[in-house]
Amino acid sequence: MSLTKVLLPTLGIAALGIAYYFYSQLRKQQQAPPQGGGQGSTRDVRVKQIFVYPIKGCKGISVLKAKITRFGFLNDRRWLVIDPTTKRFLTQRQLSRMSLISPSLENDYLVVEAPEMDPIKIPLQDNLAAPRFNVSVWGDSALEASLESESVCRWFSDFLQRPVEVVRMSPDYQRMVDPKYWTDEFPGSKQTSFSDGFPFLLISQESLDSLNEKLDHPLTINRFRPNIFVEGASAPFNEDTWRTIKIGADNTIFHGVKKCSRCKVTTIDQERGIPTPDIEYQDDEGVVKKEAEPLRTLRTFRTEAGEKKGAVYFGQNLIHEKVGGFVSVGDIVEILS
């Protein structure tokens, strides 16, 4: 038998094997789900931390699991500190010491602590006999709330060094999200509590890292007060583009409706309860201005033409479709659109 007759079949089999190998590798690449927070991602983006803020403007609570109610996470921003005369909301914008007030959830009570103060307990159960009246948060001036006890109001007044009242949202009151961000066909509850306007705020670790690379003194996520802090986005600020996402074993759908414009609260040192000093700088037109970090740095790359004048953005506001489910640390965040 000639050498040619022996080699030709062998070479043909080898060529087929090589061709099949490359074909199988190509098929694997085509079938693999996209990674890193793009549309359809199911592997890389996960919930890193969950925060609940029972009292608007005070410290948040980091939890491993949070229940979704009609107004957001259970117990999130149900309490509000107000001016006793105007009944208008107060936050760290006016009272930076609020960042030192630490609430915690213990059995049937909201326990509130602060430096050099004895802890005080507020029952989670609504007091239906408490006085009710309207309070205001931004442009919403008819939010129904019930007054907490005199001892609670006195505790907050003593620590904040000025007269204040503490209220909670009435249990049967419905505060709707701004209607320009939803339609009648939207299946969600479309409600929120005493938030600035939306039930959830989502931020990615990648966005925080990108900002910190530009700052002289890196910040932690508590400066930005998200409810859902995720990691694994394919690029910083990718969450700006997430229109519809699904989180958790309960397959809760969230809709990204508006980038979050940031305010003076981001400049408050959350550990010391004092504002960060302003820095003098010149804007693009040569005008000398003063602004504290991180707003000064965010203004260099997180403003958009056509958006609200002077606004800087960090994070994505969400509304949700259904109630009763849970979001847990480690949950997959699936970007649907």
State pLDDT tens for residues 142-152: 999 999 999 99
Does 205 score more than 50 pLDDT? yes
Q: What is residue 304's predicted lDDT score, i.e. its pLDDT?
A: 83
Q: Which residues of 15-49 are buried (b: 16+ CB within 10 A; e: fewer)?
A: eeeeeeeeeeeeeeeeeeeeeebbeebeebbebbb
Tell me the average pLDDT across 202-216: 98
- Is-contact 15 22, C-beta < 8 A? no
The larger pLDDT score, comparing residue 150 to residue 288, is at 150
Q: What is residue 214's predicted lDDT score, i.e. its pLDDT?
A: 98
Give residue for tokens 């201005």: 289
Q: What is residue 306's predicted lDDT score, i.e. its pLDDT?
A: 66
Tell me the average pLDDT across 250-271: 95
Distance CA 52, CA 62 (A): 7
Q: Which residues of 110-130 are buried (b: 16+ CB within 10 A; e: fewer)?
A: bebebeeeeebebebeeeeee
Omega of the bond prior to 294 within 30 degrees of 0, cis?
yes
Q: What is residue 43's predicted lDDT score, i.e. its pLDDT?
A: 52
- Is-contact 76 53, C-beta < 8 A? yes
Q: What is residue 37's predicted lDDT score, i.e. its pLDDT?
A: 54
| Lowest-pLDDT choice from 28-37, 160-169, 286-295 | 28-37
Does 309 score more than 90 pLDDT? no
Does 336 score more than 80 pLDDT? yes
Between the CA of residue 66 and those of 72, 75, 128, 284, what are the distances in Å? 10, 9, 25, 44
Q: What is the mean pLDDT of the chain?
A: 88
Does 75 score more than 90 pLDDT? yes
The larger pLDDT score, comparing residue 274 to residue 21, is at 274
Q: What is residue 76's predicted lDDT score, i.e. its pLDDT?
A: 98
Length of the chain: 337
3-state secondary structure (DSSP) of residue 18: helix
- Output the six-digit token pair for 222: 């508590």
Phi, psi of 262 (to 5 degrees): -100, 155
Distance CA 259, CA 303 (A): 11
- Is-contact 230 239, C-beta < 8 A? yes
Q: What is residue 188's predicted lDDT score, i.e. its pLDDT?
A: 73
Q: What is residue 55's predicted lDDT score, i.e. its pLDDT?
A: 98
Does 229 score more than 90 pLDDT? yes
The larger pLDDT score, comparing residue 286 to residue 308, is at 286
Does 238 score more than 90 pLDDT? yes
Distance CA 16, CA 219 (A): 57
- Is-contact 52 63, C-beta < 8 A? yes
